[in-house]
Amino acid sequence: MSTADAVTFWDGVYAARPAATNPRPNYLLTETVSRLSPGDALDLGCGDGGDALWLARRGWHVTAVDISAVAVARLADLARSHGVGDQVVAERHDLSESFPLGGFDLICAHYLHTPVDLDKATVLRLAAHALRPGGRLLVVDHGSTAPWSWNQDLDVEYPTPREVAADLALEPATWRVERVDAPRRIATGPDGRTAEVTDHVLLIHRTARAAPTTENTVSTIPLRKRRDDTPPPRTGSSETETLRAFLDYLRTSIAAKVDGAPEPQVRTAAVPSGTNLLGLLNHLTFVERSMFLGDPVTDWQATFQAPPADSVAVVVGRYRATVERANDFLDGCTDLNAPVPRARPGRPAPSVRWALTHLIEETGRHAGHADILRELIDGTTGR
């Protein structure tokens, strides 16, 4: 099944049923997370949004993703209506092509079953690497077929939690398996029917940072060497839509190019000028903050070096958070001729139009640099 067919399939699944007004969280989530302190959470395959809302109500900041634009839009509206709109970020991701940026204290993947060709082990391995030290990855899969399941194939085989853990091949010194279980329960489906079902539960605890790789070795995350090229965005006819769509396209491209790059090569200068992959993204974070948020920068050259103590996930997460704040500013802008909040002593601030055009040029230029640097590091190409 192609990506387009998968999107159509899942959009159809959600559009065919009424939007939930107060969806229930998965009980294994509530059982596992109730004892944890709130932090940043990632919900992979958020569906109706019961898990994301439950976490947000308990103080978690949640990034909730799904391949279905219908599910994502409904969750965004639902979060606002429940008063947790500022704690839930709903994003559409095809996990076979992109993975959310940033570091997380909790990542949950409930029933991540799909008819699309998805390398689930790679997705979950990426999730394990996106955990901060002390964070947990909760994977709950079907162990049986419920009467209301979209997949009624009688020959379907469900991997055991131990098989899933083995496929991830995580280093025991960094990730510890805390729970491997197959509990049974009485479940209620979307149509109100009940049935006994089996869940396959895997809970992984990240206990430490991954050991840095040695020079000229590749990342421990088995990413494809060739990323499929993402085509330029299709935009509306307005100037604002076009400028913002292309800027977001370039932002996503360079963040993906940095995400998952191995240490220490990611911060090692590849040319005499000292340019390095992680430093490029750190610099662009300051550019966004200066241009759209009005933050002063006293030493631009210093921005090309990320702080030594900050991991790749931290730098990528900071860039993503800055982009979100910049977009919040742009969402409230209705006039491209209006000035940006950037302070420029002795000179008027540039217009939003100029700022967007400049950021497209700046981000595109450094995205090209990043393409070359990443290929030099581990051979990864594509945009």
Residues 293 and 347 in one domain: yes
Residue 225 lies in a domain: no
Q: 218: pLDDT confidence band, cut at 50, 70 and 90?
A: very low
Residues 285 and 354 in one domain: yes
Residue 222 lies in a domain: no
Instruction: Please state the domain count of the chain.
Output: 2
Which residue type sits at 298?
T
Residues 253 and 364 in one domain: yes
Q: Write the CATH number for 293.
A: 1.20.120.450
- 221-269 pLDDT tens trace: 333 444 445 677 777 678 999 999 999 989 999 998 998 889 889 999 8
Residues 108 and 164 in one domain: yes
Residue 249 lies in a domain: yes
Residues 52 and 149 in one domain: yes
Residues 256 and 202 in one domain: no
Q: 309-339: buried (b, 16+ CB within 10 Å) or exposed (e) per residue?
A: eebbbebbbbbbebbeebbebbeebeebeee
Residues 249 and 165 in one domain: no
What Å distances lie between residue 341 and 17, 127, 288, 350, 358, CA to CA?
Answer: 44, 36, 11, 9, 15
- 97-107 pLDDT tens trace: 788 888 899 99
Residue 264 lies in a domain: yes
Q: What is the mean pLDDT of residues 136-156?
A: 77
Which 3 state secondary structure label does DSSP give 281? helix
Cβ count within 10 A of residue 67: 22
- 324-335 pLDDT tens trace: 999 999 999 999
- 344-377 pLDDT tens trace: 666 788 999 999 999 999 999 999 999 999 988 8
CA distance 175 to 126: 13
Last residue of a domain, one of 186, 206, 226: 206
Instruction: Please provide the average confidence, as pLDDT, over all residues in the chain.
Output: 85
Residues 245 and 337 in one domain: yes
Q: What is the mean pLDDT of residues 315-320?
A: 92
Residues 199 and 261 in one domain: no
Lowest-confidence range among 6-10, 182-186, 229-233, 362-366?
A: 229-233
**Looking at residue 4, what is its pLDDT?**
59
Residues 96 and 182 in one domain: yes
* 8 A C-beta contact, residue 261 and residue 218: no
**Looking at residue 229, what is its pLDDT?**
57
Q: Write the CATH number for 128.
A: 3.40.50.150
Residues 178 and 269 in one domain: no
Residue 224 lies in a domain: no
Note every long-range contact of 2-7, with CB atoms under 8 Å and residues 24 or more positions apart, other chains counting. 3/94, 3/96, 3/97, 3/116, 5/116, 6/67, 6/94, 6/114, 6/115, 6/116, 7/67, 7/68, 7/69, 7/94
Of 261, 269, 255, nearest to 101 by C-alpha is: 255
Residues 201 and 69 in one domain: yes
Q: DSSP letters of 177-226?
A: EEEEE--EEEEE-TTS-EEEEEEEEEEEEE-SPPPPPPTT---SS---SB
In the block, tokens 């690497």 appear at 129
Q: Write out the residue range of the structural domain in which residue 318 sits.
A: 239-378
Residue 213 lies in a domain: no
* pTM of the predicted model over 0.85: no
